[in-house]
Amino acid sequence: MRALVLAVVLLLAACDSEAPPLRQVTIESPTALGLSLRELPSEALRASGLPYGLSVVKAGSLAERAGLRVGDIVYAVNEQRLRTIEDFARLVAAQSGGSLALLVRRGKSDFYVPMDFSAAAPRPPEGLPRFAPPARDTLLRT
């Protein structure tokens, strides 16, 4: 009987604990990507039919051109599950080729979104050093 009472007390204590704060990550490299992802509460994930995933809260020009929209749930990168922000950051950092294949759920549809970072990286004009600041044109009025 004591074990049953102890189990009930522990379950009630677990129900009263606060959920951990939801974290967000923004990938700004390259700048044109501008992809922000946020962890989802378990209730929202269950409603979408997924046990894990990150929600798109901002899709910059490259992410938008690839087909991502705010509200999409990214749940895999290169066929590897995304459970946390750290998973996403680790998988993006591990890509030396500059391309990713995201598995996305939008509503009840699942699809892949290929993203190529090398297309977003600006290339310096020939003859200029790679990390030189861009030239600024000035309009002179007379």
pLDDT in tens, 78-117: 899 988 888 888 887 787 667 788 999 999 999 999 987 6
Is the pTM higher than 0.75? The answer reads no
Please tell me the predicted confidence (pLDDT) of residue 8: 53
**What is the C-alpha to C-alpha distance for residues 67 and 87, in angstroms, rounded to an integer?**
22
CA–chain centroid gap for 132, Å, is 30
**What is the C-alpha to C-alpha distance for residues 116 and 98, in angstroms, rounded to an integer?**
6
SS3 49: coil
Fold type of domain 21-119? Pdz3 Domain (2.30.42)
Please tell me the predicted confidence (pLDDT) of residue 34: 74
